[in-house]
Amino acid sequence: MLLRMYVRWAEQQNYSVLMIDEAAADEGGIKSATLEITGVFAYGKLKGEHGVHRLVRLSPFNAESRKPALPKSKLCPR
């Protein structure tokens, strides 16, 4: 979910996005991904995204349960 958000945002800003690495999780989904986003002021606009994000999703196995996910994003200038 977070990966898709970053890719769509970069495309809307007319930045180029290169998927460097992607590792699948054991039970489905993505365990980790590495992107290279290049464009004018890309680092300045993304540096506030560094850290842990809290995402809440509905569980596909239990309709009454909401499962939190805590993905971490790191940002490295090039």
Q: What is the DSSP string of the chain?
A: -HHHHHHHHHHHTT-EEEEEEEEE-TTSSEEEEEEEEESTTHHHHHGGG-EE--EEEE-SS-TT-EEEE--EE-----
In a domain, 78, yes or no: no
CATH number of the domain enclosing 16: 3.30.70.1660
**CA distance between the termini of the chain:** 25
Tokens of 58: 């509905």
In a domain, 58, yes or no: yes
In a domain, 27, yes or no: yes
Task: Give 39's pLDDT tier (boundaries 50, 70, 90).
Answer: very high
In a domain, 36, yes or no: yes
Task: Give 32's pLDDT tier (boundaries 50, 70, 90).
Answer: confident
State the residue range of the domain holding 11: 2-73
Lowest pLDDT segment from 9-13, 22-26, 45-49, 63-67:
63-67
